[in-house]
């Protein structure tokens, strides 16, 4: 890699203002949010800020009783925070790649680990794949996002989208490599005992997500094992 002068480094790494949107990628791994009111972001994802911006962790009443019970049962660490005021906030998550999606009334599901931020025009609902709870320590949390606005989701490295339709048949994915899928799909959790010796899970079975119907599913080239499913 070529050595840069100080001025070259400062010039190539300074923040950019090329988009009129509230969400702008400063790099593939860094998101700038121009806050003018409120947005939701993953708790702990702020790396820098400017202006009059305050942060509030998602309140108990906002999460709802069902969400609280799910967290108590599963030990899931997913938390969102309100980002309010006027200013700029810079968000990142362990160097993961950030993808911006503009929803125009559509609905998508995103793995709870992979939601970085979304605008207030997006409605969110935390869901859990209940069948997983008895097989993995903690189950699998997802967030359903729908409405109008921008969603920032993360992935380890470049994500890949697989179409799901009647012609291709069902698509099977590793839960820990599954990033998102279309709101029209309802995945099933299935166990493939024949793969148990290759995966090494404590149950001796390989758990997979089965997608059938019409839609798409996004996977990453990485198995993201959250703390509740380790061991």
Confidence of residue 62 (pLDDT cuts 50, 70, 90): low
Residue 135: how many CB atoms within 10 A of its CB? 18
- pLDDT tens-digit map of 98-119: 999 999 999 999 998 899 999 9
pLDDT value at residue 112: 87
- pLDDT tens-digit map of 18-50: 888 999 999 999 999 999 999 999 999 999 999
| Spatial CA neighbour of 132 closest among 152, 112, 146 | 112
Mean pLDDT of the chain: 83
- 128 and 151 Cβ atoms separated by less than 8 Å: no
Lowest mean pLDDT among 121-130, 176-185, 203-212: 203-212
- Looking at per-residue pLDDT, the higher value among 198 and 208 belongs to 208
Domains in the chain, ordered, with CATH? 20-224 (3.60.160.10)
pTM, two decimals, is 0.84
């Amino acid at each position: 890699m070529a050595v840069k002068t100080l001025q070259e480094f400062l010039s190539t790494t300074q923040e950019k203002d090329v988009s009129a949107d509230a969400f702008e990628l400063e790099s593939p791994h860094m998101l700038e949010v121009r806050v003018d009111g409120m947005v939701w972001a993953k708790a702990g994802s702020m790396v820098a800020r400017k202006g009059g911006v305050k942060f509030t962790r998602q309140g108990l009443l906002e999460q709802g009783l069902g969400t609280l019970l799910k967290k108590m049962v599963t030990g899931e660490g997913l938390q969102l925070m309100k980002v309010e005021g006027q200013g700029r906030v810079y968000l990142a998550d362990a160097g993961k790649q950030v993808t911006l999606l503009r929803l125009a009334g559509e609905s998508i599901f995103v793995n709870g680990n992979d939601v970085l931020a979304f605008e207030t025009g997006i409605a969110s609902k935390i869901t859990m794949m209940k069948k997983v709870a008895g097989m993995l320590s903690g189950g699998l949390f997802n967030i359903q996002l729908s409405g109008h606005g921008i969603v920032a989701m993360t992935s380890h490295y470049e994500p890949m989208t697989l179409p799901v339709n009647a012609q291709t048949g069902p698509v099977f994915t590793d839960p820990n490599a599954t990033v998102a899928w279309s709101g029209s799909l309802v995945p099933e959790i299935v166990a493939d005992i024949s793969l148990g010796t290759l995966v090494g899970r404590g149950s001796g079975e390989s758990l997979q997500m089965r997608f059938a119907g019409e839609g798409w599913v996004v996977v990453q080239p990485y198995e993201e094992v959250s703390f509740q499913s380790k061991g």
